[in-house]
């Protein structure tokens, strides 16, 4: 008991320090960015205008937040009430994911103070215009969906109840907006048929982006349940999460088949067989993101085992990240004629945002009723350090 307490304390201390250092670094880089320009902090250039902040922060940040609309749809539209306990944490993840995207955009955009211009200067031929509107509206929807948690915490039960009354239309709007912008992030690349490598360019990009986001979004739900379980001494709800693994098998299989079909259609298999740079990167993406999770999660024994389920989900999420980086970076390098490797500062910003996101998630879990049925008894059983227990504990 004693040692486990100390270990917990050490872990919290280490991550807190890491987070503080990254936040400080983030602020310094942001200062450099707004005094010396994008060229001083990034490896972006006229040949490679979009880098890590778009490929990872934007494409992955939005994609991995897909668990929110998937789970809310399951509970409120498909009436799978069993999943009620994980709705709040997934909505919180989604909300933080979008905030993460917006903060990253504020650094990446040349004139971020003009970000609101999409509201007044319309161009409905632009995918980016549509994405901008969807992200704006969906962030609003997510904050309304999440607001009852905060309202309950501060005793505004009537208002929370009122919001709950409108939950069905709210969720339908949220699902529609998510479907649109998840797929539209793929449509963003439809305009570059002569630039994006044929392994990744296809007219089906919107469909592929949507499907893979649903798969990886569910993977994120499993992982965040696991992480919050570890931090707050809760058990993995295996009876809830294992079926999500089954859904991931179905979604990722369909996605994998569509991927192979589009590559065959483009005649790009010779790059894969020939093990070109792009071919190797595709094999990496497909092996981690599709083959590994589909095979692992299809086997009952692995899927029903907490470690197996988390590992399978982890592969799906990692493969998703590699896919988005392949579309935004690997696939664009040959036509650009240069290799793009993000600068240390670009990587630091991305890491800092992930770290801050996780810290805010952990804080919210501690001070807000995110896990309504999180039994304090379990916490004590795991021997959580006193620092982890909120001051309000026992109310």
Partner 1 sequence: MTVGLLYDSTRCVGCHACSQACKEQNKLPGEVQEQTTAYTWTVVKEHQGAFVRQLCMHCIEPSCASVCPVAALHKTKEGPVVYDADKCMGCRYCMLACPFEVPKYQWDRAVPVVGKCIMCYDRVKDGQATACATACPTQATVFGDRKDLIMDARERMRSNPGTYQEAIYGIKEVGGTGVLMISGVPFASLGLKTGLPEEAPPMRTWQVLSKIPDFVAVWAASLYAIHWITKRRDDVAKAEGAE
How many CA atoms are closer than 13 Å to the CA of 345, on its beta-carbon side?
18
206 binds partner 1 (CB under 8 A): yes
CB of 245 to partner 1, least distance (A): 22
How many CA atoms are closer than 13 Å to the CA of 326, on its beta-carbon side?
24
Report the alpha-carbon distance of residue 189 to residue 55 in Å, rounded.
Answer: 12
151 binds partner 1 (CB under 8 A): no
Contacts of 294 (CB under 8 A, 6+ apart): 249, 252, 253, 256
115 binds partner 1 (CB under 8 A): yes
Q: Which is nearer to partner 1, 50 or 156 (CB)?
A: 50
Region of 145-153, 171-179, 222-230, 284-292 interacting with partner 1 (CB under 8 A): 171-179
CA–CA–CA angle 99, 100, 105 (5° rounding): 95
User: In angstroms, how far is CA 340 from the centroid of its own chain?
Assistant: 23
Region of 105-113, 263-271, 355-363, 374-382 interacting with partner 1 (CB under 8 A): 105-113
66 binds partner 1 (CB under 8 A): no
Strands (E), 185-276: none
**From the list 47, 157, 339, 381, which residue makes contact with partner 1 (rule: CB under 8 A)?**
47
Region of 11-19, 108-116, 304-312, 359-367 interacting with partner 1 (CB under 8 A): 108-116
Q: Which is nearer to partner 1, 216 or 329 (CB)?
A: 329
Report the alpha-carbon distance of residue 253 to residue 147 in Å, rounded.
Answer: 36
**From the list 17, 77, 283, 341, which residue makes contact with partner 1 (rule: CB under 8 A)?**
77
270 binds partner 1 (CB under 8 A): no
175 binds partner 1 (CB under 8 A): yes
Identify the three-state secondary structure at position 16. Answer: helix
123 binds partner 1 (CB under 8 A): yes
Longest dimension (CA), the chain: 64
Strands (E), the chain: none
182 binds partner 1 (CB under 8 A): no
CB of 235 to partner 1, least distance (A): 28
Q: Which is nearer to partner 1, 15 or 129 (CB)?
A: 129
Q: Computed from CA positions of residues 229, 232, 233, 234, in that sequence, does the dihedral angle turn out positive or negative? A: negative
User: In angstroms, how far is CA 58 from the centroid of its own chain?
Assistant: 9
Report the alpha-carbon distance of residue 289 to residue 264 in Å, rounded.
Answer: 19
44 binds partner 1 (CB under 8 A): yes
111 binds partner 1 (CB under 8 A): yes
Q: Where does residue 127 fall: left (phi above 0), alpha (psi -120 to 50 degrees), or beta otherwise? A: alpha
| Other beta carbons less than 10 A from residue 96's beta carbon | 23
Name the token pair of 101. Answer: 């995207």
* Crossing angle between the packed helical segments 306-325 and 205-232, to the nearest 10 degrees: 140
CB of 176 to partner 1, least distance (A): 5
- Assess contact for 290 and 254: CB atoms under 8 A: no
Region of 8-16, 31-39, 157-165, 271-279 interacting with partner 1 (CB under 8 A): 31-39
How many CA atoms are closer than 13 Å to the CA of 39, on its beta-carbon side?
4
76 binds partner 1 (CB under 8 A): yes
CA–CA–CA angle 330, 54, 348 (5° rounding): 95
27 binds partner 1 (CB under 8 A): no
**From the list 50, 156, 269, 371, which residue makes contact with partner 1 (rule: CB under 8 A)?**
50
Q: What share of the chain is helix, strand, coil (3-state, %, to 5)?
A: 80, 0, 20
Q: Which is nearer to partner 1, 44 or 311 (CB)?
A: 44
**From the list 12, 150, 176, 291, which residue makes contact with partner 1 (rule: CB under 8 A)?**
176
Region of 179-187, 317-325, 339-347, 384-392 interacting with partner 1 (CB under 8 A): 179-187
Region of 44-52, 154-162, 221-229, 339-347 interacting with partner 1 (CB under 8 A): 44-52
39 binds partner 1 (CB under 8 A): yes
**Which positions lie near partner 1, rule CB under 8 A?**
34-40, 44-47, 49-50, 73, 76-79, 109-112, 114-115, 117-118, 121-132, 168, 172-173, 175-176, 179-180, 187-188, 190-195, 203, 206, 332
């Amino acid at each position: 008991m004693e040692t486990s307490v100390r270990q917990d304390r050490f872990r919290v201390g280490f991550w807190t320090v890491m987070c503080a250092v990254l936040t400080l670094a983030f602020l310094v880089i942001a200062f450099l960015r707004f005094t010396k320009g994008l060229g001083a902090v990034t490896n972006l250039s006229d040949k490679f205008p979009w880098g890590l902040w778009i490929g990872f922060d934007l494409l992955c940040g939005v994609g991995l937040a897909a668990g929110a609309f998937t789970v809310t749809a399951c509970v409120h539209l498909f009436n799978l009430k069993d999943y009620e306990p994980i709705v709040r944490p997934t909505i919180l993840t989604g909300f933080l994911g979008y905030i993460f995207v917006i903060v990253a955009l504020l650094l990446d955009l040349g004139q971020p103070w003009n970000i609101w211009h999409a509201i007044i200067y319309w161009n409905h031929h632009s995918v980016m215009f549509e994405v901008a509107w969807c992200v704006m509206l969906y962030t609003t929807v997510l904050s309304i969906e999440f607001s009852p948690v905060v309202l309950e915490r501060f005793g505004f039960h009537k208002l929370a109840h009122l919001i709950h009354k409108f939950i069905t239309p709210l969720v339908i709007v949220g699902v529609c907006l998510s479907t649109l912008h998840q797929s539209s992030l793929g449509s963003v690349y439809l305009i570059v048929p002569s630039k994006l490598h044929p392994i990744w360019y296809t007219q089906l990009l919107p469909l592929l982006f949507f499907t893979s986001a649903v798969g990886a979004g569910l993977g994120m739900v499993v992982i965040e349940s696991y992480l919050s379980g570890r931090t707050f001494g809760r058990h993995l709800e295996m009876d809830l999460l294992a079926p999500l693994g089954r859904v991931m098998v179905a979604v990722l299989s369909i996605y994998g088949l569509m991927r192979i079909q589009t590559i065959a259609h483009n005649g790009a298999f010779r790059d894969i067989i020939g093990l070109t740079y792009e071919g190797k990167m595709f094999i990496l993406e497909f092996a981690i993101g599709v083959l590994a999770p589909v095979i692992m999660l299809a086997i009952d024994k692995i899927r029903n085992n907490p470690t197996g389920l988390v590992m399978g989900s982890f592969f799906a999420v990692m493969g998703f990240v590699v896919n988005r980086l392949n579309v935004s970076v690997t696939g664009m390098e040959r036509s650009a004629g240069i290799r793009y490797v993000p600068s240390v500062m670009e990587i630091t910003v991305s890491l800092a945002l992930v770290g801050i996101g996780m810290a805010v998630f952990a804080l919210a879990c501690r001070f807000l009723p995110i896990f309504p049925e999180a039994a304090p008894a379990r916490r004590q059983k795991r021997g959580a350090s006193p620092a982890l227990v909120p001051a309000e504990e026992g109310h």
